[in-house]
């Protein structure tokens, strides 16, 4: 995964970079590796031109990480922002 992320960064593939960032974060969170996920977020930047769907997913993962680290106000802010960025039609599972 990290080789794919590195390749996307070198090629300036913003869509690939955003998608792989979310895949890496999802992998860390599914294995309860919250500290590694936090370190990954600190050392990388999320592309600003990413789609709203990818950005809302990224904010959701940030909110989960902040909640585990007991930073509840930041977590709530990220999760609310994720809900606002999520698509209004569809994505029912995401909103729940």
Residue-wise pLDDT for 7-46, tens only, equals 877 888 888 899 999 999 999 999 999 999 999 999 999 9
User: Averaged over 79-89, what is the pLDDT?
Assistant: 81
- The domain locations on the chain are 2-95
- pLDDT score of 29: 93
Residues 6+ apart with CB under 8 A from 23: 1
pLDDT band with cut points at 50, 70 and 90 for residue 68: very high
* Spatial separation of the C-alpha atoms in residues 74 and 27, rounded to whole Å: 22
Candidates 96, 25, 94; CA nearest to 66 is 25
Q: Do the Cβ atoms of 92 and 62 come closer than 8 Å?
A: no
User: Averaged over 59-83, what is the pLDDT?
Assistant: 92
Q: How many CB atoms lie within 10 A of CB 57?
A: 24
- pLDDT score of 24: 94
pTM for this entry: 0.85
* Spatial separation of the C-alpha atoms in residues 3 and 42, rounded to whole Å: 18
């Amino acid at each position: 995964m990290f080789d794919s992320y590195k390749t996307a960064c070198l090629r300036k593939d913003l869509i690939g970079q955003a998608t792989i960032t979310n895949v890496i974060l999802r992998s860390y969170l599914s294995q309860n590796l919250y500290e590694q996920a936090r370190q990954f977020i600190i050392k990388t930047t999320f592309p600003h031109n990413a789609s709203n769907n990818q950005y809302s997913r990224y904010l959701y993962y940030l909110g989960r990480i902040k909640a585990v680290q007991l930073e509840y106000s930041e977590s709530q802010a990220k999760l609310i922002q994720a809900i606002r960025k999520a698509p209004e039609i569809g994505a029912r599972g995401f909103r729940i």
